[in-house]
Structure 1
Amino acid sequence: MEPDGAAEGRRPKVVEVDSTDGHSDGGAEGDNGLRKIRKIDSFNAEITRLKSDQGHSSNQNLAWGVIIKIAIQSIGVVYGDLGTSPLYVLPGIFSNGIKHEEDLLGALSLIFYSIILIFLIKYVFIVLSANDNGDGGTFALYSLICRYAKVNLTPNQQADDKEVSKYRLEVPSRRLHWASAMKSILENRKAAKYLLLFVTMLGTSMVIGDGILTPCISVLSAIGGVREAASSLGDDQIMWISVVILILLFQAQRFGTHKVGYSFAPIISLWFLSIALIGIYNFAKHDPGVIRAVNPLYIVHYFMRNKKDAWISLGGVILCLTGSEALFADLGHFNILSIQLSSCIVVLPSIILAYFGQVAYLRKHTEDVASTFYSSIPKPVYWPMFVIAVLAAIIASQAMISATYAIVKQSVALGCFPRVKIVHTSKDHEGQIYIPEVNTLLMLACVGVTLGFKTTLQLGNAYGIAVAFVFTITSTFLVIVMVMIWKTNILLVILYILTIGLTEYVFLSSVLYKFVDGGYVPLVFAVVMVTIMLVWNYGYRKKYEYELENKVSRETLVTIMSNTNIRRAPAVALFYTELVHGISPVFTQYVANVPALHSILVFVSIKSLPISKVPLEERFVFRQVEPEELGIYRCVVRYGYRDAKMEQQSFERVLIDRLKDFIWNGALPATDQRGRVQREIGLLDEAIKIGGIKYLMAQSEVIASSGSSCSERFVINYLYNWLKRNVRQQEEVFGIPHKRLLKVGITYEI
C-alpha cells in the first residue's frame, strides 16, 4: 500500500468518475494534440492497476522435499475415513453369514477392483485434476462451471469479476460441438440452471450427512472390538460408550483441531502400517491362495451363484470406498502430487493388504465374519491395535466434521445456506474453523443416530446411500467439466460413463434397495437440508432482485443530494448493502426518515465470487458517484468461498487505505487534479478524526407481494422469515460494533 503522497508516476492517466448506471463514454483527441480524459468505469481501472501489481502464481513448482513432507501430513487429514473402512466392510457384505466359501473370493475381487477403479483411477488420477485453483469438492466443480457458463441464478455478475487473477480458467482454445452445445443448454435453459443448483445442494447435503454418519459408524466399529476381550458387554453398553466419546469429540471442536493436529499423521501412519502387517501375517498364515481374487472372473461367478443377493451385497462393498471424496474435498490444504504419492505408496497397498489378509483369515474361520477385523488380529497385539483403532476412528470422525464446517461455510458464501457464526480456531491455518450452530446440530444428530441404530449393520446401509450419492454427483459434474471445459475427446467421456459412471449407479441402485433398513436416514436428512437451502436461496435471490429493480436512479440521487434541508455531518458512514449494481433503495428510506447524511458515504457490498480465494490486492474495488463533490463512493468487497472474513478493525483500516489509494490513483498529474485529490483526502481524514466511522444497515422485513401464489406466500412469509429470524443477523456475521450501528427499517414486497 502506498502512502497518501504516492509518486505521481504510478498514477494511471485514464480514470475519471463515472455515473451510477455503469455506462462509459468514448474519449477523443483534442485539437491541442492532448488526449482527453476517457470516462471509463472506475471498477475496471482499479482492477487493471491491481493486475499489474500481482501476477498469478498458483502454479509455482515445489521442491520434492516439500512435496514429500506435505504427502506425509496429508495421511493424517485425508485418509482417516478410508483407512478405517476395514473395520466394517466384510461384516456389511456378509450380513447374513457366508453361504459359500468361494463367495469370499468374489467379494474380495469386488473390493479390489472397486478400489482400483473408483479410488485410484477416478479420484487419484482424474477428479483431482478438476480442481479450482488448488481447491476441491462439490463447490469447486460448481464454481468451475459457473465461471465458464452463465449459470448463476443471482443477477450479481459483473464484467470486472472475470479480471480477478484466479477467476480465469486455462482451457483449450479450440471449440467443439459438444462443448458449445452443453454450454448453450446450461446458459439458455432456466430449468438446467435450477437442476445444477439443486444437484449441488444435494451433494452438499450428502457430504454433511457423511459428517453425521462417519463418527457414528467409525466409533461404534472401533469400540465394538472390546467385546473380543470382554464378551459380557452387550450392544447397549457399546452404544453408550460410543455416545460418550462422540459427545466429548464434539465438545472439543471449539478449541480447534490445530492443538492436536500434529499427532494425526503419526497415528494414522501407524494405523496403516499395522493393518498392512496384520494383513501380510494373515495372508501368509491362513490362505495365500486368496491372491486368485485379482482374477475378475470371480466377480462373474459370484453374481451367477448369488444373483440378487450378490447385487444387494454391493451395499457393503461400497463401504470400502468411504472417504474417497475426502481426497478431493481436502485438496486445498495440500496439492495434487502429494496426495497422489501418499495414496499410491501408503494408502492403497495398506488397505489392499488388510482386505486380502482378512479374507485369508475368513477362509479358515467363516464363523467370525461379524467381527472380522478384531478376530483376525493376533492375540499379542490385540490391545495395542484396539487403542490405535479407536484413535484412528476419532481422527476419521474429526476429518469429516471439519469437512462439514468447510462446506457449510462455502454454502453460506454462495447464498445457499442461512447465516451462521464462523469461528477461526487457528491464526496459522485459516482453513480450521468452528461453527457453533452446526456443531450442536451434528452432535445431536450423531447421538440420535447412534441411539437409534445401536449397531453398525443398519448404520452401514445409511452410510452406503450417502457415499453412493456423493460419488454419482461428483461424476455428473465431472462429465460436464470434461465435455464443456476440458473439451475431452467424446469417446473418452463415453468410456468414463460406461465404466466408472455405470459402476457407481449400480452401487447406488443396490444401497437404495435397503431404504427401509436404515437407508432412509441420509435421504430424509438430505430432504430437510435441501429444503432449507432452497428456501434460503430463493428468498435471497428474490430480495436481491427487488433491490436491483428498485435501485436509486441517478436523477433521484441528484435530487436528494441537492436538497438544502439535508445536513452533512462530519463522519465516514459505511452503508452495507447486498446490491452491487447501483445504490440500494434503503438509501431513500434512510433519507426520508433521517434528513442528515455523513460527509463521506461509502456503499459497501460484500460479494462472494465462484472461486476459492480472492487475493487481498484484488478484494476492494471502488468507484466514485458523481458529482464528485458529494463525497459518495461505492465499494464491492469480493471474497472467495474459502476466504476468511477480516476482523472489523482490520477491515476498516484496509478499506480506508484502499479508498485513499483509489482517490490518489484516480487523478491526473495536473496541478488542479492534485489540488482536488488533496481536498478529498483532507475531507476524508477530517471526517474520520471528528466523527469516526459509522455503520448503516437495513433492518428488512420480507413479505410476498399481493399477486403471489399460495406456495410463494407460504415459502416467503413463513419458511424464509422463520429462517431469517432464527439465524445470525448481518451485524453479528460481519462483527459490526453495535454502538456505531444504525439500522434502517424497510419492507420488501417480493
Structure 2
Amino acid sequence: MSQNHKNLDKVTAAGLLITLGIIFGDIGTSPLYVMQAIIGKEKIDDEIVFGSLSLIFWTLTLQTTLKYVVLILRADNNGEGGIFALYALVRRHAKWLTIPAIIGGSTLLADGIITPPVSVASAIEGLQLVYPDIQTIPIIITIITILFLVQAFGTNLVGKAFGPIMFIWFSMLAILGLRQIINEPAIFSALNPYHAYRLLFFHQDGFWLLGSVFLCTTGAEALYSDLGHCGRGNIRISWIYVKICLLLNYFGQGVWAISMHGQYLDGRKPFYQLMPDWFLLIGIGIATMATIIASQALITGSYTLISEAIRLTFWPKVRLKYPSDHKGQLYIRSINWLLWAGCVGVVLYFKESANMEAAYGLAITLTMLMTTILAAYYLYTHRFNKAWIVAFLVVYVLIEGAFLAANMLKFTHGGWVSVLIASVIALVMIIWYRSNIIKNRLTEFVKLERYIDGLKELSKDESIQKYSTHLVYMSNAHRVSEIESKVMYSIFEKRPKRADIYWFIHVDITDEPYTMKYKVNIIEPDDVIKVTFKLGFRVEQRINLYFRKVIEEMVKRKEVDIRSRYESLSKQNVTGDFRFVVLERYLSNENKLPFWERLTMEAYFFIKGFTNSEDKWFGLDTSNVKVEKVPLILRPIDNITLERED
C-alpha cells in the first residue's frame, strides 16, 4: 500500500473533528427542512410519519452509507475524490464517459448554487417563531454576501472553529431528538422497511414523496468530493456518529408529528418544534452557524470542482488563487461572484425555504446517477466480479431512477431553475471540451532540431536588433524534441526576434494534486533550452516564480550564464533581461469548417473573451510579457477562383 493510501485510511481525533466541520455540513443540516418538505400540505397521519421515517433510514443506509461511505470512497485518484477524480480514473478506457462526467459535474455545480440559500433560509426562518413580523430575506442575503466576501481572505482561521461548532450541532440534533423519543420509543418500529413499502405503493401520493425524502441524502456527493481534505478513515468513522445524530433527530421529529395526528403543519417547522421556548434563540443561532459552515463547504467544493474541470479541459483557464498557506485552500474570483449572484437570485426568486425545497434535489439526483455509471465502469476496469458490478448498477440505477422520477414532479415548481443552471454550465463544458479537441487535432508540431542552426545564426546576426537577452516561449509541446510551428513562425517570420538564449517552457499538469517538479533539457548549450514543469492540479500556476528558481539552480550548477551579453553591462556582471512571449490564438477568417465546428469555435472564442489571458493564467509578470496574437487556421479555404485582368 502506498504512503498516500495509508494517509487516507489514517484516523486521528483531530482528523475526526476537522471532518465534522468540512464534510458533513450539507447532509448535516438537512433535518432543518426534510420532514417539513415530506409532510408539506399533507394531513398528518401515522402511515406518512412511519413510512417517511423508514424511507429516510433506508435512504441514508443504502445511498449514503453503502454506496458512498463503503463503496465509492474506495475509488480515489491519488488521494482525491469527486466525480471528476472518478472520471480521470476511467477516461482512458472509453470516450463516451465524458458525457456522464459533464452532466454530473454541471449538476453538482448547480446544486452548489441552490444549497446555501435553502440551508440558510431554513435556519433564519426560525426567527419568525419569536418575531412573527420579521423580514428574513434581507438577513439571508446579508449572511450569504458576507460569506462570499470573506472567501478572498481565506477561511483557514475560521475553519478551525468549524469542527467544534458542527460537533455542538450534531450533539444538539441528538439531544433534541432523544427528548421526544423517550416519550414514544415505539417510533423505532419505523426501521422496518415494510412501512416504507406501504407508503410507496399504497398511499395516494406515496411515490411522489420520494422527491422530498431524497433531500436527506443530498450531501452524500460532498462526502466523496472532499475525500482529499479529510481522508477515507476519518470520513467513515465520523459518519457513524453523524448518522446516529441525524436519525435520532428525524425520529424525534416523527414523534412530534404523530402528536399532531389529523392536523396540518400550517407553517410550523417540525425541527424547531423540538426545542423548548427558552432554547429557541440559542438553537436558531447554532442552526445558522451550521448552515453557514454547510454553505462554506459547498463553495470550497465548487472551487475544487472547477480546478479539476480546468485540468480536464472542461472549463476555461480562470485564475486560481491560494489565499493562505493552508494546503488545498483555494479561491476563484469569477466562480465566487457567479455563485453569489446565483444564490442571491435564488433567494429573491423563491423568497421562502419551502419554495426552494420544491426546486431542490432534482439536479443532484442526476449527479448521483452519473457517479453510479462512472463507479460501475471503475469497478469493471479494476476487474471486480462482474455479477457484483451488474448488481451494483441495477440496484442504484433503480433507486436513483425512482428518486429522479419523483423529483421530476418538482420541475414546474422551480426545479427548472436548477436544470437551467446545470444546462448552461454543461454547455460551457461541452464547448470548451470540443473546441480543445478541434484545436489539438490540427495544431502542428515540428521537430526542434530542424531549427537549431537557424536559431544559432539568428542569435549572432547583428544586422537584426536584439529583442532580448533571454527569450522565453510558453509551449504546449509535450515532447522535448518538438515545438509548435507557430512558435517558430513568431521567432523567424512575424518579427525576427534575436536573442542570446531561447527558452521553451512547457507545463504538464499531473494527476497528483500537489506535485512540484521540473526537468531541464539543454538542447544546445548556451543557445536553446527547454524546461518542463510537472505541477499538480491543485498547485497555483506561478511560472514566473518557479522559472526564477530553475535559473538559480542552473547558475549554481554552472549550466548557464545569465549575464547580459551587452559589452558595457557584461563587465559589470549585470543579469541579462528576460522576456516572455505568450501566443494567443484567434479564429482566422481563412477557415472552412463544418457548421457545428464553426459554431463551437465561435462560441469558444466568445467565452474566452471573458476569461483571463494566457499570461495571467501562467502567473507571469505583465512588465516583461509580450502577448502575440496568431491566427488559428484549422481548415483553410481552398478552390478560390480569381481571374486576372490585363
> Given the two structures, how large is their TM-score scaled by the length of structure 2?
0.90
CA distance 1:636–1:647, change in 2 (3 Å):
closer
CA distance 1:521–1:570, change in 2 (3 Å):
closer
Query: 2:238 aligned with 1:354, yes or no?
Result: no
* Displacement of 1:503: 0.8
Query: 2:626 aligned with 1:726, yes or no?
Result: no
For these two proteins, the number of residue pairs brought into alignment is 618
User: Match of 2:259?
Assistant: 364
CA distance 1:524–1:703, change in 2 (3 Å):
farther
Query: Distance between the aligned counterparts of 1:381 and 1:271, measured in 2?
Result: 14
User: Match of 1:696?
Assistant: 581
User: Match of 1:586?
Assistant: 486
Q: Contact between 1:430 and 1:644, CA under 8 Å: does it hold in 2?
A: no
User: Match of 2:380?
Assistant: 483
User: Match of 1:50?
Assistant: none
**1:131 aligns with one of 76, 79, 85:** 76
After TM superposition, the structure 1 stretch with the greater mean CA deviation from structure 2, 241-250 or 398-407, is 241-250
User: Match of 2:415?
Assistant: 519
Q: Contact between 1:573 and 1:600, CA under 8 Å: does it hold in 2?
A: yes
SS in 2 for 1:97: coil
* Displacement of 1:92: 1.2
- Residue type of the alignment partner of 1:585: S
- Residue type of the alignment partner of 1:743: V
User: Match of 1:213?
Assistant: 114
Q: Aligned runs of 1:230-249 on 2, under 5 Å?
A: 230-233=131-134, 237-249=135-147
User: Match of 1:535?
Assistant: 431
Q: Contact between 2:452 and 2:528, CA under 8 Å: does it hold in 1?
A: no
Query: 2:470 aligned with 1:470, yes or no?
Result: no
Q: Aligned runs of 1:185-584 on 2, under 5 Å?
A: 186=94, 193=95, 195-233=96-134, 237-285=135-183, 287-307=184-204, 309-344=205-240, 346-366=241-261, 367=263, 369=265, 370-427=268-325, 429-485=326-382, 487-547=383-443, 549-551=444-446, 554-559=449-454, 561-562=456-457, 565=461, 571-581=469-479, 582-584=482-484
CA distance 1:685–1:559, change in 2 (3 Å):
closer
* Displacement of 1:608: 1.9
Aligned-residue sequence identity (percent) comes to: 27
CA distance 1:707–1:700, change in 2 (3 Å):
closer
* Displacement of 1:361: 0.8
User: Match of 1:656?
Assistant: 551
Query: Distance between the aligned counterparts of 2:157 and 2:543, measured in 1?
Result: 22
- Residue type of the alignment partner of 2:339: L
Query: Distance between the aligned counterparts of 1:90 and 1:72, measured in 2?
Result: 27
After TM superposition, the structure 1 stretch with the greater mean CA deviation from structure 2, 562-571 or 696-705, is 562-571
- Residue type of the alignment partner of 1:599: D
Query: Distance between the aligned counterparts of 2:172 and 2:411, measured in 1?
Result: 35
**1:740 aligns with one of 615, 621, 624:** 624
Query: Distance between the aligned counterparts of 1:304 and 1:311, measured in 2?
Result: 7
- Per-residue displacement from partner, 1:654-687 (whole Å, max 9, x unpaired)? 32256569xx7xxxxxxxxxxxxx6xx2534667
- Residue type of the alignment partner of 2:633: E
- Per-residue displacement from partner, 1:273-332 (whole Å, max 9, x unpaired)? 0010010001112x221111111111121123215x111110100100121111111111
Q: Contact between 2:120 and 2:292, CA under 8 Å: does it hold in 1?
A: yes
Query: Distance between the aligned counterparts of 1:310 and 1:659, measured in 2?
Result: 71
User: Match of 2:497?
Assistant: 596
Query: Distance between the aligned counterparts of 2:279 and 2:606, measured in 1?
Result: 55
Q: Aligned runs of 1:619-634 on 2, under 5 Å?
A: 619-625=517-523, 628-629=524-525, 631-634=527-530
CA distance 1:577–1:393, change in 2 (3 Å):
same
User: Match of 1:10?
Assistant: none
* Displacement of 1:115: 0.4
* Displacement of 1:61: 5.8
Q: Aligned runs of 1:140-179 on 2, under 5 Å?
A: 140-146=85-91, 149=92
Query: Distance between the aligned counterparts of 2:344 and 2:195, measured in 1?
Result: 40
Q: CA RMSD in A?
A: 2.4
SS in 1 for 2:628: strand
Query: Distance between the aligned counterparts of 1:415 and 1:389, measured in 2?
Result: 39
**1:120 aligns with one of 65, 72, 81:** 65
CA distance 1:249–1:435, change in 2 (3 Å):
same
After TM superposition, the structure 1 stretch with the greater mean CA deviation from structure 2, 216-225 or 374-383, is 374-383
- Residue type of the alignment partner of 2:483: I
CA distance 1:560–1:653, change in 2 (3 Å):
closer
Choose between structure 1 and 2 for higher RCO, CA contacts under 8 A separated by at least 6 residues: 1
CA distance 1:229–1:125, change in 2 (3 Å):
same
CA distance 1:347–1:593, change in 2 (3 Å):
same
* Displacement of 1:378: 2.1
Q: Contact between 1:82 and 1:322, CA under 8 Å: does it hold in 2?
A: yes
Query: Distance between the aligned counterparts of 1:748 and 1:569, measured in 2?
Result: 25
Q: Contact between 2:363 and 2:422, CA under 8 Å: does it hold in 1?
A: no
Q: Contact between 1:620 and 1:658, CA under 8 Å: does it hold in 2?
A: no
- In structure 2, the gaps of 5 or more residues are 566-572, 635-646
Query: Distance between the aligned counterparts of 2:114 and 2:219, measured in 1?
Result: 12
After TM superposition, the structure 1 stretch with the greater mean CA deviation from structure 2, 113-122 or 564-573, is 564-573
> Given the two structures, how large is their TM-score scaled by the length of structure 1?
0.78
SS in 2 for 1:612: coil
Q: Contact between 1:544 and 1:578, CA under 8 Å: does it hold in 2?
A: no
- Per-residue displacement from partner, 1:471-518 (whole Å, max 9, x unpaired)? 111111110111112x11112112212323321121111112321111
SS in 2 for 1:491: helix
* Displacement of 1:85: 0.1
